[in-house]
Amino acid sequence: MTRSKRELTLAEIQVEEDALTDFQFAIIDAMNAEGLSQTDLAKRMGVSKARISQLLSPEANPTLKLVGRALHALGLRAQYSNPNRALENDGQDFWQQFVAKIESTQTSRASFTPDQVSIYKSRASVRASLWDTRPANENAAATVKRAIVA
Amino acid sequence: MRQRDRRSEHERSYEPRLVASGSYADVYLVGEALSGFDGLALSKGDQDAMRASVNLPKYFRRFAETGPSALNDKMFKKLMDVKVGNGNSVPVFEFKNYQARIYGVICNYKGRRAFVGTACDLKKKQQKADSAVIARAASEFGKVQI
């Protein structure tokens, strides 16, 4: 069977290294906060000090299970998120800010600079359906719609 | 009226470049440390160099924000004090990632605590730092206008 293997792209290297350094920095910060040495962490995890040293080295490629144990030993937990979803939430926040601004000033597009409209529009219109998901703000939504879509 | 820059061309080219700034310190690179660091990102096909080009800036930012305690000794450490004449010596430190090492001195630069990287070794094979490069880091530091 032919195995297809290619060089990693810089973006792939970046995410690999981010995964490792985010983990290592979290461990270092937690150890510093508790005043723990590598020996102390090794004892907590039931591994050798050399294994902790290796875990925190730039060339490390620890197993997920060892990562889980290290996090657990320091009371940490890994969380995964979808960056696109985060952008969506960000868009909702901006939309809410925009609605609040419209409501508080009873204003229209004329009160905003083109740049402000552009920023709010790009962030707030991440989801077109957002316009109809806030029944309580129906009037404001309609105003916003007129203000930035018109 | 615009003031004339009286420094020589060599002195101007030896102006350290700020690569990270934070509440703890600034990080500057100059000379071979700067050109070596810039070259890492261009090392297509050399994965270790590409990885170092991704990671070293993170180390710089963390050092600048929090200080050396935010990094372990496989990322940043003091190497030795190097005599530079007049009975003075400067402590040489290194940032390291994969085979790349950036050597420099912690000092007060432009009114702030700073790491000024002055030498580098990008293809380091042994674990131990090369004493000739460490000495060069200290002597190159003498060219930096503090």
Over the stretch B68-110, which tens digit does the pLDDT of each residue have? 999 999 999 999 888 877 778 889 999 999 989 999 999 999 9
Is residue A35 one of the residues assigned to a domain? yes
Q: What confidence category does residue A62 fall into, taking pLDDT thresholds of 50, 70 and 90? A: very high
pLDDT score for A102: 60
Crossing angle (nearest 10°) for helices A64-73 and A38-45: 110
pLDDT score for A80: 85
Residue A116 pLDDT greater than 80, yes or no: no
pLDDT score for B24: 96
Distance from CA of A13 to the nearest CA of B (A): 6
A31-55 mean pLDDT: 96
Q: What confidence category does residue A134 fall into, taking pLDDT thresholds of 50, 70 and 90? A: very low
A47 and A94 together in one domain: no
pLDDT score for A93: 66
Nearest alpha-carbon partner for B76 in B58, B53, B88, B90:
B58
Which residue of A13, A56, A58 is in closest CB contact with B47?
Answer: A13
Say whether A7 and B45 touch across the interface (CB within 8 A). Answer: yes
Q: Kindly report each contact of residues A98-104 with a partner whose C-beta sits within 8 Å and lies 24 or more positions away, as own/partner.
A: A98/A124, A98/A144, A98/A148, A99/A134, A99/A137, A99/A140, A99/A141, A99/A144, A102/A140, A102/A143, A102/A144, A102/A147, A103/A137, A103/A140
Is residue A65 one of the residues assigned to a domain? yes
CATH for A57: 1.10.260.40
Decide the pairing of beta strands B88-97 and B100-109: antiparallel
Residue A63 pLDDT greater than 90, yes or no: yes
Is residue A20 one of the residues assigned to a domain? yes
pLDDT score for A89: 63
Is residue A66 one of the residues assigned to a domain? yes
Q: Which residues of A touch B (CB under 8 A)?
A: 7-8, 10, 13-14, 16-18, 21, 24-25, 28-29, 32, 53, 56-59
A50 and A106 together in one domain: no
Enumerate residues 48 to 107 of chain B having a beta carbon within 8 A of any beta carbon in chain A: 50-51, 54-55, 58, 62, 69-72, 74-75, 96-98
Decide which of A44, A73, A102 is a domain's last residue: A73
A99 and A133 together in one domain: yes
> For B69, which residue in chain A has the nearest alpha carbon?
A32
Distance from CA of A107 to the nearest CA of B (A): 41
> For B96, which residue in chain A has the nearest alpha carbon?
A58
Q: What is the DSSP string of A97-129?
A: HHHHHHHHHT--GGGS-HHHHHHHHHHHTT-GG
Is residue A112 one of the residues assigned to a domain? yes
Distance from CA of A71 to the nearest CA of B (A): 17
Lowest-confidence region among A16-20, A45-49, A116-120, B87-91: A116-120
pLDDT score for B42: 81
Domains of chain B, with CATH numbers?
Answer: 20-141 (3.30.2310)
A93 and A122 together in one domain: yes
Q: What confidence category does residue A150 fall into, taking pLDDT thresholds of 50, 70 and 90? A: very low
More confident residue, B31 or B129: B31
ipTM of this complex: 0.84
More confident residue, A135 or B133: B133
Which residue of B45, B47, B55 is in closest CB contact with A58?
Answer: B55
DSSP code, position B144:
S
Question: The domain containing residue A127 runs over which residues?
Answer: 84-149
More confident residue, A93 or A121: A93
Residue indicated by tokens 């700020």: B18
Over the stretch B30-63, which tens digit does the pLDDT of each residue have? 999 999 999 988 877 788 999 999 999 999 999 9
Q: What confidence category does residue A32 fall into, taking pLDDT thresholds of 50, 70 and 90? A: very high
pLDDT score for B44: 76
Look up the pTM and report it.
0.73
